[in-house]
Amino acid sequence: MKVNQFSEQNLDAAPTILVLGYFDGLHRGHQALFDKARELAVEKNASISVLTFPESPILVFKKFNEDLLKHLTSPNKRLALFEENGVDFLYLTDFTSHFAKLTSHDFVQKYVKKLNIAAIVVGFDYQFGSDHGDLTQLSDYESYQIAQVSDAGEKISSTRVRQAILDGDVSLANHLLGYDYEVTGLVVHGEARGRTIGYPTANIESKNYQYLPAIGVYVVDIEVLGTRYRGMASIGYNDTFGGQHQTLEVNIFDFRDEIYGETATVYFLKRIRGMIKFDGVEGLIAQMDSDEKISREY
């Protein structure tokens, strides 16, 4: 897959199926668009292109807070998901105040018409341009609007996935995404308390703006040094020891190597419980023994 900023110098001239949208998370609803795009690409002997934004358009319209920079996927994971869904060309353009002022007609003239379009695929609720244009503004092209994808009577959306993660319901989030929710970061030094009670942990600090699941203990897999291991993760403040900084710590089962400075990816599989403040270390160890049993048997 080729990734470029959108400019006339970077555009491929061959026929292409253009998929439009923001695609935070590339969940099962988004995947339905790419299912159709791949079908059309075979039928028309065309490539698949996506025109999208590196950051959420909401940043231009709302008062800033740090959550507006957060994503459901890291930049690398997002690229991998596009590639897994058959995208050949990914064109990025920044969503700025100037871009937001473009009408749907302006957008077609400045962007869509620059590509050799064989067909266009959009979602059921897709609108574009300052005038909130819809598929009628794309009538010069063979266009397909994909129906809403629902689960348990509700539409699958990035908002719904995000809320599931913030609620700690990673099982639901994974079901809606169609893959395991993951957070990637560096292994750094922590307080090293875990090793003193028989549960050493890898402390993960993410460099990406991603949503962390709710405070609690989770069954996880962790990938480091090219191998995926089972483990259990704690997200919280180490209440038993009076911690102040929120941490993501993973006890990796049957693993003894030192991995400080390595990049690790944590895959959240299931929430075991919320965070508990114990009166002493003995109660904490007993609970962690139970958490480990659940995690190993998952």
**Could you write out the DSSP letters of every residue in 12-59?**
--S-EEEEES--SS--HHHHHHHHHHHHHHHHHT-EEEEEE-SS-GGG
Helices (H) and strands (E) in the chain, counts: 8, 14
| Tens digit of each residue's pLDDT (9 = 90 or more) over 74-103 | 999 999 999 999 999 999 999 999 999 999
For the chain, the first-to-last Cα distance in angstroms comes to: 36
Domains of the chain plus CATH, in order, are 2-152 (3.40.50.620), 180-297 (2.40.30.30)
DSSP 3-state percent helix, strand, coil across the chain (nearest 5):
35, 30, 40
Q: What percent of the chain has pLDDT over 70?
A: 95
Residue type, 253: F
Residue 276: HSE in the Cβ half-sphere, 13 Å Cα cutoff: 14
pLDDT, residue 275, reads 87
DSSP assignment, residue 215?
S
Q: Which segments of the chain are extended strands (E)? A: 2-5, 16-20, 47-52, 89-92, 117-123, 143-146, 150-151, 154-155, 181-188, 202-205, 216-224, 227-236, 247-252, 263-273
| Tens digit of each residue's pLDDT (9 = 90 or more) over 112-168 | 999 999 999 999 999 999 999 988 899 999 999 999 999 999 999 999 999 999 999
pLDDT lower than 50: segments of the chain: 240-241
Task: Give the residue carrying structure tokens 């598929």.
Answer: 135
- Token representation of residue 234: 């704690």
pLDDT, residue 240, reads 47
Under the phi-then-psi rule, with left for phi > 0, alpha for psi from -120 to 50, and beta for the rest, what region is 273?
beta
Q: CA 199, CA 195: separation in Å to the nearest integer?
A: 5
pLDDT, residue 197, reads 67
pLDDT, residue 192, reads 61
Q: CA 211, CA 72: separation in Å to the nearest integer?
A: 6
